[in-house]
Amino acid sequence: MTPPVREGGCLCGAVRFRAEGDPKWVAFCHCSSCRRHTGAPVSAYAGYERDRVAITGDGFTAFSSSPGVRRGFCGRCGSALTYEGERWPTEVHFHLGVFDHPESVVPTGHSFIEERLPWLDVHAAGERS
């Protein structure tokens, strides 16, 4: 059986990516840095090994948001795309919303849940026990 290939990109199409195989994990992140990066109350990511990922196009830009953390986005339209950090040095984490078919990657856990917004009911947000 051929491993799945998932593709995605930014809002304007200047950046595209291709990820081979299933993600290592898929989870919600509740940290304040991710909230600020996306403008959303919670982020959701799929983590892939860097050697399973190709990013193409001429708009990809990254910035260091905090020590040891780089966040990728489209320099043209501003779409938040990736997270890379020293904590997971071989991985690239893609925001689920930038996949062409985000329904194919389902979160199964939560990170930094102690930072979640108090009004967010994690049981209603897909928590898996």
Over the stretch 73-121, which tens digit does the pLDDT of each residue have? 999 999 999 999 999 999 999 999 999 999 999 999 999 999 999 998 8
Kindly provide the residue ranges of all beta strands, DSSP E only, lying in the chain, ordered along the sequence.
5-9, 15-20, 25-29, 43-49, 53-57, 60-66, 69-74, 80-85, 91-95, 109-111
pLDDT at 127 over 50: no
pLDDT band of 12, cuts 50, 70, 90: very high
CATH hierarchy code of domain 5-115: 2.170.150.70
The answer to whether residue 27 scores a pLDDT higher than 80 is: yes
**Residue 2: pLDDT band with limits 50, 70, 90:** confident
Average pLDDT over residues 59-80: 93
Q: Is 102 helix (H, G, I), strand (E, B) or coil?
A: helix
Structure tokens at 58: 């001429």
pLDDT of residue 121: 83
Confidence of residue 128 (pLDDT cuts 50, 70, 90): very low
- Please compute the mean of the pLDDT values over residues 8-23 and round it to a whole number: 96
User: Does the structure show a pLDDT above 80 at 125?
Assistant: no
Domain boundaries, the chain: 5-115
The pLDDT assigned to 124 comes to 57
More confident residue, 1 or 51: 51
